[in-house]
Structure 1
Amino acid sequence: MDARKVLTGGGAVGTAVRWGLLTAAVMALLLYVPTPYAAYEPGLAFYTKPLVHAASPDEPGRGAFMLTTVRLSHANAWKSIRSAWDGNIELVRKRDLFRGGTQSDFVEKQAVVMRGSQTDAVEAAYAEAGIEYGIATYALVVSDAGSAGGAFRTGDEIVSFGGRPVTSLRELSLALNLESAAGQARVSVVRQGRTTELAIPLSAEASANQPALMIGVRKLTELRRIQPAKAEDEVDIQSGEIGGPSAGLMFALQTLDELTDGDLTAGMRVAGTGTINAKGEVGAIGGVSHKVVAADRAGADVFLVPEENEQEAIAKAADIGTDMRVLGVGTLRDARRAMEEAGG
């Protein structure tokens, strides 16, 4: 056998192996090496009717309301590079997003905010429908534990403090007045479905009128329950894994549709986004361009958006060439009227 052929063949195989290893190394670098960025991208649109449970719902209409979401993921090197030309990828520094906390803290904050948003949505819908109701605080939750590494975690529901039941800021302040001289206290919390006992130091630099500071957390949130005068008007919202406040408007519209006669969707597929408060005022949100894409992909006829985000949403809709109508609203009543006019 010619030795030159053997050497030549061996060299070719070696070169192929080297190129294969180099390619694998580059792919690993692009796909698996972490970066300091997270990425926002268009998420999904979810029908709100399966999430809103009314005791005596109105007959379903021909259309549907949908809430829109943004997908948040860790940005590898390849996704970071793609963001230079892909308008549906928005990079954000993790340190700015998580603000010194962890991704788990961020998710828990969004979950707490969602629980409050659901209550505001129901209250706004009751007010718009003219339904009588009462309000009661039923739980006190650590909505931001901070980054100091204390005993509390974001999402902890405080059940008792120093052996005394706690469901509100007022009750916590009263318990702190009794425990402050001891310099520490025993606390019972519900954490991810399980009851946990904590021993915490009490800050000598804060008073019982500053309960969050005194127990070493950044923020506490009271959760409220809206109770209608008539049991037939009872509404419960179960959002599952969806977090944040921006589904408030769509939850309020679905609730209003369940409680009133007629088809509020006017037979259309209506997607939307926007925070809402108990007065029915719609607030601005982030990531609206991603939600426009999510709504279009879901086949929405109309996209409802806070007035502050309207121009950005219109520009994105024009950019992707959708026939979907974008309507800006400032209140729940505006949204109701917009739907009546759109159904014409």
Structure 2
Amino acid sequence: MKSRTILRSSLVLAIILLIMSFIKLPFYITQPGMASELEPIIKVENGFDDEEGSFSLTTVRFGRANPLTYMWAKLNEFYYIHPLEEIKREDESDKEYMNRQLHMMEVSQESAISVAYQKANKKIDYTFHGIYVDGVIKNMPASSKLKVGDRIYKVDSLEFQTAEEFIDYVAKKKEGEEVTITYERDGKQDKTNITLASFPDQPEKIGLGISLVTDRQMDVEPKIELQTEEIGGPSAGLMMSLEIFNQLTEGDLTKGYKIAGTGTINAEGEVGPIGGISQKIVAADKEGMDIFFAPNEQGVPTSNYNEAIETGKKIGTEMKIIPVDTFDEAIKYLNDLQGKNF
């Protein structure tokens, strides 16, 4: 009888826990992810790929909170709880959010390739593929016509190669005027007419209600292949540029060390801040990294680097945390680095 009672209680508890796991709360939970080596996913044709150490990007895991994960996050120091609006834009679907994150990774890849190839004195050309819709504003004319992920090819039969050209053209229009947009969605082209209107919070400003970025293909020699389809966001830019540069040039910048890091990178080689730096330090430490590059943000007190240092002290890491503002600073550090003694 007692065993039956225990069995029933266990079954009821399991059902309750299962039900709780399907209840979505208006929060996201982020936690330390992992350090992923870049050499297996970045391949430069006929490149130098005999690294003794490694370059790795670092990630943060995140997911929609349920009552169980919410309680678990409350009990763990490096699990953070975020209101929905901190992660996703207003009225942005999960698919739109993921599309935006994946496109940010594409832009980050382009900047990383550009910086690495320029520094290695290699050839770069560009082929333009329209303008990418990065965001759609609620209650503006485009909100019922366009979606995040659409690629605009023509406006009123005019072809533009940059988002800036599109914005300049539309800015000359007046409220109530109509433009014809030719766009691609899910591999299919279509057209739609959109009437310009004033922005609710900026009545003096006229537009369609979309944010845009230029979508272009970079053609380089030697060719490069990146398998990052499942990685979103721009934070791997710096580390990708270092891995690409290392494969383009003779010698081994890793010098036997396991090197991780984070930070956006632009076409000028400037390193920018990211979110979740503490969680990335924890992830890199667990993976046994020797060195971690952190965005310095020109030394401001609230920089990623200073937060990384504080986290490193909390967890007692032996990993060296290095501040960087530019790609060149990271390269100089690695060039000056003594080889690891095995």
Interval containing the TM-score (normalised by the shorter chain): 0.7 to 0.9
Alignment map for 1:306-317 (pairs within 5 Å):
306-307=295-296, 308-317=303-312
CA distance in 2, matches of 1:146, 1:343: 52
CA distance in 2, matches of 1:13, 1:295: 46
CA 1:43–1:177 in structure 2 vs 1: closer, same or farther (change >3 Å)? closer
- Cα distance, 1:26 vs structure 2: 4.0
1:327 paired residue number: 322
- Matched residue SS, 1:49: coil
Gaps of 5+ in 1: 1-8, 207-211
2:183 paired residue number: 189
- Cα distance, 1:117 vs structure 2: 1.3
CA distance in 1, matches of 2:5, 2:129: 69
CA distance in 2, matches of 1:151, 1:122: 34
CA 1:18–1:144 in structure 2 vs 1: closer, same or farther (change >3 Å)? same
2:228 paired residue number: 239
CA distance in 1, matches of 2:10, 2:245: 60
CA 1:302–1:170 in structure 2 vs 1: closer, same or farther (change >3 Å)? closer
2:145 paired residue number: 151
CA distance in 2, matches of 1:292, 1:170: 37
1:299 aligns with 2:288: yes
Determine if contact 1:184/1:199 at 8 Å carries over to the other structure: no
1:199 paired residue number: 192
CA distance in 2, matches of 1:91, 1:151: 34
Higher helix share: 1
1:215 aligns with 2:205: no
- Cα distance, 1:170 vs structure 2: 5.9
CA distance in 2, matches of 1:261, 1:29: 57
CA distance in 2, matches of 1:14, 1:158: 64
After superposition, the CA RMSD in angstroms is 3.1
Q: How many residue pairs end up in the alignment?
A: 324
Q: Could you tell me which amino acid in structure 2 is paired with residue 144 of structure 1?
A: G
CA distance in 2, matches of 1:165, 1:17: 69
1:121 aligns with 2:112: yes
- Return the match for 2:63 from 70, 73, 76: 73
Determine if contact 1:158/1:167 at 8 Å carries over to the other structure: no
- Cα distance, 1:213 vs structure 2: 5.8
- Matched residue SS, 2:207: helix
2:333 paired residue number: 338
Name which one, 1 or 2, has greater alpha-carbon Rg: 1
2:98 paired residue number: 107
- Cα distance, 1:339 vs structure 2: 1.9
Q: Could you tell me which amino acid in structure 1 is paired with residue 182 of structure 2?
A: S
Alignment map for 1:12-161 (pairs within 5 Å):
19=9, 23-24=13-14, 26-28=16-18, 30-100=20-90, 101-131=92-122, 133-135=124-126, 137-148=128-139, 149-161=143-155
Could you give the per-residue CA deviations for residues 1-32 of structure 1, whole angstroms, max 9, x where no partner exists? xxxxxxxx7xx799768845753464245422
- Matched residue SS, 2:334: helix
CA distance in 1, matches of 2:63, 2:269: 32
Identity of aligned residues (%): 29
- Matched residue SS, 1:121: helix
Determine if contact 2:196/2:206 at 8 Å carries over to the other structure: yes
Determine if contact 1:44/1:69 at 8 Å carries over to the other structure: yes
Q: Could you tell me which amino acid in structure 1 is paired with residue 147 of structure 2?
A: R
CA 1:238–1:182 in structure 2 vs 1: closer, same or farther (change >3 Å)? farther
- Cα distance, 1:58 vs structure 2: 1.8
Determine if contact 2:57/2:236 at 8 Å carries over to the other structure: yes
Moved more, 15-24 or 65-74: 15-24
